[in-house]
Structure 1
Amino acid sequence: MKKTYLLLTALIVFSYTAIAQAVPAAAKMNQFIDQLMQKMTLDEKIGQLNLLTPGGGIPTGAVVSTDVEAKIKNGQVGGLFGVIGAEKVLQAQRLAVEKSRLHIPLIFGSDVIHGHKTTFPIPLGLACSWDTILIKQTARAAAEEATADGLSWAFSPMVDICRDPRWGRIAEGAGEDPFLGSAIAAAMVRGYQSNNLRQDNTVMACVKHFALYGAAEGGRDYNTVDMSRIRMYNDYLPPYKAAIDAGAGSVMSSFNVIDDIPATGNRWLLTDLLRNQWNFNGFVVSDYTSVNEMEAHGLGNLQQVSALALKAGLDMDMVGEGFLTTLKKSLQEGKITMRDINNACRRVLEAKYKLGLFENPYRNVSTERAATTILSPDKLALSRKAAAKACVLLKNDKTILPLQHTGTIALVGPLADSRRNMLGTWSVSGDWHHAVTLKEGMENVAGQQVKIVYAKGANISDDSLFNKKVNVFGPEIEMGPATSDVMIQEAVAAALQADVVVAALGEAADMSGESSSRADIGLPESPQRLLTALVHTG
């Protein structure tokens, strides 16, 4: 009884001390932002709600912002994404801090989905490990690299539950299980943010896509979502809630509708649920031009949908510039209030304050740290460990595995010697030139008594139109001069002289991901014919 009493007393003292320390910190932040906002003009407040990208190979929407430098100097930009690298970030941050009137720093974000420069298995693969400690470590490693590249904000974790594997973006999440998805969501947030956002090696997490994005009808990206509240709360909302409870600093709205209202303009979702029920106190950013895309839902012109989004609880407009160009007019016409603008501006400024950007706008900008942190040996070792744990062995007939260090191996398939596809979808900052192909890896470990005979066997796909779409970011599906029949004959010949066949078949990196939903997720025709021919060799 005495031990219980002492423990309870210690917990009360600890809780009181923690609250006493937190209150002054919150009061200090409020005082700082109050004083700053008193100095800000209406245009500068609206500018903080504007997130732009100068382009440079961003693997998402087609819109690229213009006159970015002038807008930064005029205080019309709150943050940038797609600017990666200490020197580039330094150049842009100097414009904001040294050339704008109030010297308010920018927040720099990017899609850090499964690693930054060191690439880990795609999230769906990592989820197969069921190892939340490992997954947290991968997020921690990604944060260390991203901050060394000047970033302070990660558009991750993607926690959308999906029950239709045809949805292309299932690759970015944990799959269909809300229990596993919740555990991974919390682990990734804690990995990114650690215990102190002001540390040089932490990034603010951005939970996406809020909400229900993975429940698109027919597995088609951007399609309608329609479900009951029971299914919503039981099956789809838990991972978002887990990420919020883990302390995520920001949330990204989704493209889909909820109760026939787009998420980006849905007040029940962004205010009633997220802020009032779940007590979220961070800021909400739209997905890429999702404010503008509400026009296509018949909710009005750009001015009307921008006002709708702001009043719903959206704080930052990604790329579309509807807030920047219309909110002032909406205020004059009484469509929105000054309180609406102030609330959104305050939340964005609070995020920057929590990240320590007012204290040190250049906190993450260090070419020296980048040189020692990015692709460091410990991170590469972690990537290898994660890849091993993500593999799922479905069957080991006649104990074929592990392969013996003797004899002849026929290594066959369009992915057997493909460096470009090793990183997987949404490896935004990863450099595939650093990847090791399966063929190279096997040759590195096989030893002198193993002969490896290689044959491509098939193209990933022989559909030229399909291949053109997949190759939009680079040649992932390469078609040589040989016909399908000739390649299969070469592969069969290799198999007939071997003791075992290793067939590397599957998808090119961007056959899954955003806007890459497939009606049939089986092997394309050519690799399927190859596999059938290999099986027939016995």
Structure 2
Amino acid sequence: MTIDEKIGQMTLFTSDWDVSGPTLRKNYKDDIRAGRAGAIFNAHTAAYNHELQRIAVEETRLGIPLLFGYDVIHGYKTIFPIPLGEAASWDLEAIEKSARIAAQEATAAGLHWTFAPMVDIARDPRWGRISEGAGEDVLLGKRVAAARVRGFQGNHLRSPNTLLACVKHFAAYGAPLAGREYHTVDISERTLRETYLPPFKAALEAGAGSLMCAFNELNGVPATANKHLLTDILRNEWHFDGFVVTDYTSINELVAHGVAANEKEAGQLALNAGVDMDMQGAVFYQFLKKSLAEGKVSMEQVDDAVRRILKIKFALGLFDDPYRYGSDERERQLLLCTPHLEAARDVARKSIVLLKNADRTLPLSKDAGTVAVIGPLADSREDLLGPWHAAGNADDCVSLLEGVRQKLADPATVLFAEGCPVVGESKDGFADALEVARQADAVIVAIGEKWWMSGEA
């Protein structure tokens, strides 16, 4: 392999989107042809990924297949409860089944790799990504992490419905000061090892083949440049032999952290710390060859990174058949199929936490009389999907209001009022909400967050 081809394997680019679906910038297709990209994320559907894979396999010198990744967090097309909701079920078998179904659907759509599970222990609800993990308990976090890896990866990576897991975000990403995303994390080594590292170790022991480093700094050193995390602990103590990918442009952000004078130096710090693949930042792509020439990094380090990436591609069977993942027929058969919808409903039912049931109000009888459904989320389909809902579509959902009308004996006895918006301070709907409540024998109130309110914020 030439130096450029090796660096290409260490480069992960994103697909864009337009109204017709995923689309790749023209220069990225040229990069694939030149062997300067080894993986693509946010590209999905069997037909589209087949097109990109054909370029990599048939129009490059070496024909090395691409690795396709996507944020399949709680389902691909059939959407399950958010991971925090799944964890509330305490049902590890159901959680593993959820990940297995997500893998079956995602691989049918041409994907090989998911950026999940997120196993960050989080104890500050102000943190924007708390919905993606299993919460605050270390023991539960460990067991959920292992269950989700088993579900995604199945019994063998060579199976065409195996989805390579990427455990994230290493490490202590869920402990930023004041719950502020990307903020400083300042904890002791003992707290790190007793609270924040165990779910990662459990995921790796379950077989996770890749790991994503975090945006945050840990005790003054950004995780993307943290040799103590990525080499001392991950490689030397835990003997992890998969590959490490950055989070989105996190190498570039080492400049903003103040630990690198420029992106070239940032790339050197990342590789020297133990990073194998650069997500979207194009730092390795632009500067690593020059760093090699200057002796700032070694060819041995580059070869080790490339070897780890290629090893996974071999393990997934991509060199035997680059097109084995993704099938129009499998997409038609599996996406939103009845067994998958039934499984999602089962996990949703198990995820519900009943805090109080005075006078045996629940379950609500089909002959409950007049029922008022009130709240800004009552007639929302999209918000039921939750954050990070992959290829989920609001048109495939049933809103709470629609569901209540379907289930009650007389749909005409269901009243509705929005009451108030989720965002804003308007009280214009209060009177209508009070009026329908007065007319009702039972009131169901639907309040909470919009789907986009949890995330990198």
Q: TM-score, normalised by structure 2?
A: 0.97
Provide the residue aligned with 1:384 in structure 2.
345
1:182 and 1:238 in contact (8 A); partners too: yes
2:317 to 356, 361, 368: 356
TM-aligned CA deviation for residue 433 of structure 1: 1.4
2:223 to 243, 263, 270: 263
2:405 and 2:411 in contact (8 A); partners too: no
2:4 and 2:36 in contact (8 A); partners too: yes
Provide the residue aligned with 1:306 in structure 2.
267
Of stretches 293-302 and 187-196 in structure 1, the one that deviates more from structure 2 is 293-302
2:85 and 2:352 in contact (8 A); partners too: yes
Provide the residue aligned with 1:243 in structure 2.
203
Provide the residue aligned with 2:365 in structure 1.
404
Question: Within 2, Cα distance between the matches of 1:48 and 1:510?
Answer: 33
Structure 2: give runs of 5+ residues left out of the alignment: 19-23
Matches within 5 A, 1:279-294: 279-294=239-254
After superposition, the C-alpha distances for 1:89-109 in whole angstroms (9 at most, x for unaligned) are: 000000000000000000000
Name the SS for the 1:291 alignment partner.
Answer: coil
Provide the residue aligned with 2:17 in structure 1.
56
Residues 444/245 of structure 1: CA separation in 2 closer, same or farther (3 Å cut): same
TM-aligned CA deviation for residue 449 of structure 1: 8.0
Question: Within 1, Cα distance between the matches of 2:74 and 2:411?
Answer: 37
1:114 and 1:123 in contact (8 A); partners too: yes
1:65 and 1:319 in contact (8 A); partners too: no
Question: Within 1, Cα distance between the matches of 2:118 and 2:428?
Answer: 42
TM-aligned CA deviation for residue 404 of structure 1: 2.0
2:184 and 2:219 in contact (8 A); partners too: no
2:170 and 2:223 in contact (8 A); partners too: yes
Provide the residue aligned with 1:196 in structure 2.
156
Provide the residue aligned with 1:436 in structure 2.
398
Provide the residue aligned with 1:498 in structure 2.
440
Question: Within 1, Cα distance between the matches of 2:456 and 2:80?
Answer: 19
Provide the residue aligned with 2:21 in structure 1.
none
Pairing 1:272–2:232 present: yes
Provide the residue aligned with 1:187 in structure 2.
147
Provide the residue aligned with 1:420 in structure 2.
382
| One-letter identity of the residue aligned with 1:315 | D
2:126 and 2:179 in contact (8 A); partners too: yes
Name the SS for the 1:280 alignment partner.
Answer: coil
Pairing 1:106–2:66 present: yes
Question: Within 1, Cα distance between the matches of 2:195 and 2:9?
Answer: 35
Provide the residue aligned with 1:217 in structure 2.
177
Matches within 5 A, 1:21-40: 40=1
| One-letter identity of the residue aligned with 1:458 | C
Question: Within 1, Cα distance between the matches of 2:341 and 2:262?
Answer: 49
Pairing 1:318–2:279 present: yes
Pairing 1:159–2:116 present: no
Of stretches 442-451 and 194-203 in structure 1, the one that deviates more from structure 2 is 442-451
Provide the residue aligned with 2:450 in structure 1.
508
Question: Within 2, Cα distance between the matches of 1:485 and 1:47?
Answer: 56
TM-aligned CA deviation for residue 195 of structure 1: 1.2
Pairing 1:488–2:435 present: no
Question: Within 1, Cα distance between the matches of 2:276 and 2:25?
Answer: 19
Aligned length: 451
Question: Within 1, Cα distance between the matches of 2:352 and 2:321?
Answer: 42
TM-aligned CA deviation for residue 486 of structure 1: 3.5
After superposition, the C-alpha distances for 1:484-527 in whole angstroms (9 at most, x for unaligned) are: 44411111110111111111111111111222xxxxxxxxxxxx
TM-aligned CA deviation for residue 365 of structure 1: 2.1
Question: Within 1, Cα distance between the matches of 2:427 and 2:126?
Answer: 29
| One-letter identity of the residue aligned with 2:233 | L
Provide the residue aligned with 1:457 in structure 2.
419
Provide the residue aligned with 1:119 in structure 2.
79
- Over aligned residues, Cα RMSD in angstroms? 1.4
| One-letter identity of the residue aligned with 2:445 | A
TM-aligned CA deviation for residue 428 of structure 1: 2.2
Question: Within 2, Cα distance between the matches of 1:325 and 1:449?
Answer: 62
Pairing 1:447–2:389 present: no
State the identity %: 51
| One-letter identity of the residue aligned with 1:333 | E
TM-aligned CA deviation for residue 450 of structure 1: 7.1
Matches within 5 A, 1:129-148: 129-148=89-108
Question: Within 2, Cα distance between the matches of 1:370 and 1:152?
Answer: 14
Question: Within 2, Cα distance between the matches of 1:66 and 1:514?
Answer: 28
1:370 to 326, 331, 344: 331
| One-letter identity of the residue aligned with 2:434 | V
Question: Within 2, Cα distance between the matches of 1:449 and 1:176?
Answer: 41
TM-aligned CA deviation for residue 66 of structure 1: 6.5
TM-aligned CA deviation for residue 447 of structure 1: 1.3
| One-letter identity of the residue aligned with 2:32 | I
Provide the residue aligned with 1:47 in structure 2.
8
TM-aligned CA deviation for residue 112 of structure 1: 0.5
TM-aligned CA deviation for residue 300 of structure 1: 2.1
TM-aligned CA deviation for residue 422 of structure 1: 1.0
Question: Within 2, Cα distance between the matches of 1:221 and 1:84?
Answer: 28
TM-aligned CA deviation for residue 65 of structure 1: 6.6
| One-letter identity of the residue aligned with 2:394 | W
| One-letter identity of the residue aligned with 2:221 | I
1:182 and 1:239 in contact (8 A); partners too: yes
Residues 457/312 of structure 1: CA separation in 2 closer, same or farther (3 Å cut): same
Question: Within 1, Cα distance between the matches of 2:143 and 2:312?
Answer: 25
Pairing 1:228–2:170 present: no
Question: Within 1, Cα distance between the matches of 2:224 and 2:130?
Answer: 21
Question: Within 2, Cα distance between the matches of 1:124 and 1:486?
Answer: 33
Name the SS for the 2:413 alignment partner.
Answer: strand
Name the SS for the 1:421 alignment partner.
Answer: helix
Question: Within 1, Cα distance between the matches of 2:4 and 2:337?
Answer: 44
Pairing 1:79–2:39 present: yes
TM-aligned CA deviation for residue 268 of structure 1: 1.0
Question: Within 1, Cα distance between the matches of 2:276 and 2:75?
Answer: 27
1:93 to 46, 53, 60: 53
Q: TM-score, normalised by structure 1?
A: 0.82
Name the SS for the 2:440 alignment partner.
Answer: coil
